[in-house]
Structure 1
Amino acid sequence: MSNFKKLAGQTAVYGLSSILGRSINFLMIIVYTKYLSTEALGSFTSIYALIGFMNIVFTYGMETTFFRYSTGKNLDSAKVYNSTQSLLITSTLLLGTGLYLLAPSLAIWLDYPGQAYLFRWTALILSFDAILAIPFAKLRLENKALIFAGSKIINILLNIFFNLLLIIGFPYLISIGAIQEGFLGYRSDWGVEYILLSNLFANGLIIPFVWWKAGFFKFQMDGSILKPMWTYSLPLLFMGLAGVTNELFSRFLFEYVLPPNFYAGLSARQAGGVFGANFKLAIMMNLVIQAFKYAAEPFFFKKSTDKNSPQLYAKVMHVFILFCSILMIAISVNLDWIGPLFLQGDDYTEGLYIVPMLLMGYLLLGVYFNLSIWFKITDQTKYSFWITLAGAILTISIIFIFVPIWGYMGGALSTISSYFVMCLLCYWYGQKYYPIPYQTSKGLFYLLISFVLSYLGFYLDLGIPVLNFLVKNSLILIYFGIIFILEKEQIMAYLPKSKKV
Structure 2
Amino acid sequence: MSNLKKLAGQTAIYGLSSILGRSINFLLIIVYTQYLSKESLGSFTSIYALIGFMNIVFTYGMETSFFRFATGKNLDSHRVYSNSQSLLILSTLLLGSGLYLLAPFLADWMDYHGQAYLFRWTALILSFDAILAIPFAKLRLDNKAISFASAKLINIFLNVALNIVLIILFPQWIESGLISDGFLGYRLDWGVEYILLANLFANGLIIPFVWWKAGLFSFRLEKTILQPMWTYALPLLFMGLAGVTNELVSRLLFEYILPENFYPGLSSRGAGGVFGANFKLAILMNLVIQAFKYAAEPFFFKESENKNSPVIYAKVMHAFIIFCSLLMIAISVNLFWLGPMVLRSSGYEAGLFIVPILLMGYLLLGIYFNLSIWFKVTDQTKYSFWITLAGALVSILVVWIFVPIYGYMGGAMSTLLCYLLMCILCFYFGQKYYPIPYQTGKGLFYLILAFGLSYGGFYLSTDNSVLDFFIKNALIIPFAVLIFIWEKETLKNLVKRRG
Q: TM-score w.r.t. structure 1 length?
A: 0.89
| 1:389 maps onto 2:389 in alignment | yes
The change in CA–CA distance for 1:496 and 1:301 in structure 2 (over 3 A counts) is closer
| 1:158 maps onto 2:158 in alignment | yes
User: How do 1:225-240 residues align onto structure 2 when only pairs under 5 Å count?
Assistant: 225-240=225-240
Cα distance between partner residues in 2 of 1:383 and 1:449: 31
Cα distance between partner residues in 1 of 2:427 and 2:10: 26
Q: Specify the alignment match of 1:472 in structure 2.
A: 472
Q: Specify the alignment match of 1:27 in structure 2.
A: 27
C-alpha offsets along residues 215-251 of structure 1, whole Å, 9 cap, x if unaligned?
A: 4445455555544443343222212212211211111
1:11 and 1:296 in contact (8 A); partners too:
no
Cα distance between partner residues in 1 of 2:195 and 2:228: 39
Consecutive unaligned residues of structure 1, counting only runs of 5 or more, are none
Q: What code does the residue aligned with 1:413 have?
A: M
1:14 and 1:295 in contact (8 A); partners too:
no
The change in CA–CA distance for 1:309 and 1:57 in structure 2 (over 3 A counts) is farther
Cα distance between partner residues in 2 of 1:323 and 1:141: 33
Q: Which moved more, 1:213-222 or 1:199-208?
A: 213-222
Q: Which moved more, 1:170-179 or 1:250-259?
A: 170-179
Q: Specify the alignment match of 2:363 in structure 1.
A: 363
Cα distance between partner residues in 2 of 1:276 and 1:260: 17
The change in CA–CA distance for 1:383 and 1:219 in structure 2 (over 3 A counts) is farther
Q: What code does the residue aligned with 2:108 have?
A: I
User: How do 1:173-188 residues align onto structure 2 when only pairs under 5 Å count?
Assistant: 173-188=173-188
Q: Specify the alignment match of 2:449 in structure 1.
A: 449
Q: Specify the alignment match of 1:282 in structure 2.
A: 282
1:235 and 1:381 in contact (8 A); partners too:
no
Q: Specify the alignment match of 1:495 in structure 2.
A: 495
Q: Which moved more, 1:243-252 or 1:129-138?
A: 129-138
1:15 and 1:288 in contact (8 A); partners too:
no
Q: What code does the residue aligned with 1:113 have?
A: H
C-alpha offsets along residues 458-477 of structure 1, whole Å, 9 cap, x if unaligned?
A: 11224332222122223334
Q: Specify the alignment match of 1:350 in structure 2.
A: 350
Cα distance between partner residues in 1 of 2:115 and 2:14: 37
Q: Which moved more, 1:83-92 or 1:304-313?
A: 304-313
Cα distance between partner residues in 2 of 1:452 and 1:144: 46
**Root-mean-square deviation (Å):** 3.0
Cα distance between partner residues in 2 of 1:403 and 1:216: 49
Cα distance between partner residues in 2 of 1:136 and 1:487: 43
Cα distance between partner residues in 2 of 1:9 and 1:70: 23
| 1:407 maps onto 2:403 in alignment | no
What's the offset of the Cα at 1:59?
A: 2.0
What's the offset of the Cα at 1:360?
A: 1.2
C-alpha offsets along residues 11-39 of structure 1, whole Å, 9 cap, x if unaligned?
A: 65444333432332232222212211111
1:66 and 1:81 in contact (8 A); partners too:
yes
The change in CA–CA distance for 1:305 and 1:399 in structure 2 (over 3 A counts) is same
The change in CA–CA distance for 1:103 and 1:302 in structure 2 (over 3 A counts) is farther
Consecutive unaligned residues of structure 2, counting only runs of 5 or more, are none
1:403 and 1:410 in contact (8 A); partners too:
yes
The change in CA–CA distance for 1:370 and 1:180 in structure 2 (over 3 A counts) is same
Cα distance between partner residues in 1 of 2:443 and 2:155: 37
Q: What code does the residue aligned with 2:165 have?
A: L
What's the offset of the Cα at 1:335?
A: 0.2
Q: What code does the residue aligned with 1:291 have?
A: A
Q: What code does the residue aligned with 1:247 have?
A: E
1:279 and 1:358 in contact (8 A); partners too:
yes
Q: What code does the residue aligned with 1:457 have?
A: G
Aligned with 2:474: secondary structure?
Answer: helix
User: How do 1:259-408 residues align onto structure 2 when only pairs under 5 Å count?
Assistant: 259-294=259-294, 296-297=296-297, 310-408=310-408
1:332 and 1:455 in contact (8 A); partners too:
yes
1:232 and 1:379 in contact (8 A); partners too:
no
The change in CA–CA distance for 1:324 and 1:127 in structure 2 (over 3 A counts) is farther
The change in CA–CA distance for 1:164 and 1:407 in structure 2 (over 3 A counts) is same
C-alpha offsets along residues 127-153 of structure 1, whole Å, 9 cap, x if unaligned?
A: 222222333344445665444333322
Aligned with 2:344: secondary structure?
Answer: coil
The change in CA–CA distance for 1:482 and 1:34 in structure 2 (over 3 A counts) is same
Q: What code does the residue aligned with 2:49 have?
A: A
Q: Specify the alignment match of 1:169 in structure 2.
A: 169
Cα distance between partner residues in 2 of 1:183 and 1:246: 42
Q: TM-score w.r.t. structure 2 length?
A: 0.90
Q: Specify the alignment match of 2:206 in structure 1.
A: 206
Q: Specify the alignment match of 1:43 in structure 2.
A: 43
Cα distance between partner residues in 1 of 2:460 and 2:8: 34
The change in CA–CA distance for 1:483 and 1:373 in structure 2 (over 3 A counts) is same
Q: What code does the residue aligned with 1:161 have?
A: A
Cα distance between partner residues in 2 of 1:101 and 1:240: 25
Cα distance between partner residues in 1 of 2:47 and 2:493: 50
What's the offset of the Cα at 1:449?
A: 2.3
Q: Specify the alignment match of 2:54 in structure 1.
A: 54
Q: What code does the residue aligned with 2:328 have?
A: M
Aligned with 2:212: secondary structure?
Answer: helix
Cα distance between partner residues in 1 of 2:282 and 2:498: 42
C-alpha offsets along residues 418-470 of structure 1, whole Å, 9 cap, x if unaligned?
A: 11111211222233344444443343333222222211221122433222212
1:15 and 1:287 in contact (8 A); partners too:
no
The change in CA–CA distance for 1:191 and 1:497 in structure 2 (over 3 A counts) is closer
User: How do 1:415-426 residues align onto structure 2 when only pairs under 5 Å count?
Assistant: 415-426=415-426
What's the offset of the Cα at 1:184?
A: 1.7
Aligned with 2:102: secondary structure?
Answer: helix
Cα distance between partner residues in 2 of 1:480 and 1:55: 42
1:15 and 1:292 in contact (8 A); partners too:
no
Cα distance between partner residues in 1 of 2:144 and 2:114: 45
Q: Which moved more, 1:81-90 or 1:410-419?
A: 81-90
Q: What code does the residue aligned with 2:342 have?
A: F
Cα distance between partner residues in 1 of 2:325 and 2:4: 19
1:254 and 1:403 in contact (8 A); partners too:
yes
Q: What code does the residue aligned with 1:472 have?
A: K
Pairs aligned (count): 499
Q: What code does the residue aligned with 1:42 have?
A: G
1:274 and 1:348 in contact (8 A); partners too:
yes
1:275 and 1:408 in contact (8 A); partners too:
yes
Cα distance between partner residues in 1 of 2:225 and 2:496: 49
Q: Specify the alignment match of 2:245 in structure 1.
A: 245
Cα distance between partner residues in 1 of 2:486 and 2:251: 38
- Report percent identity of matched pairs: 74
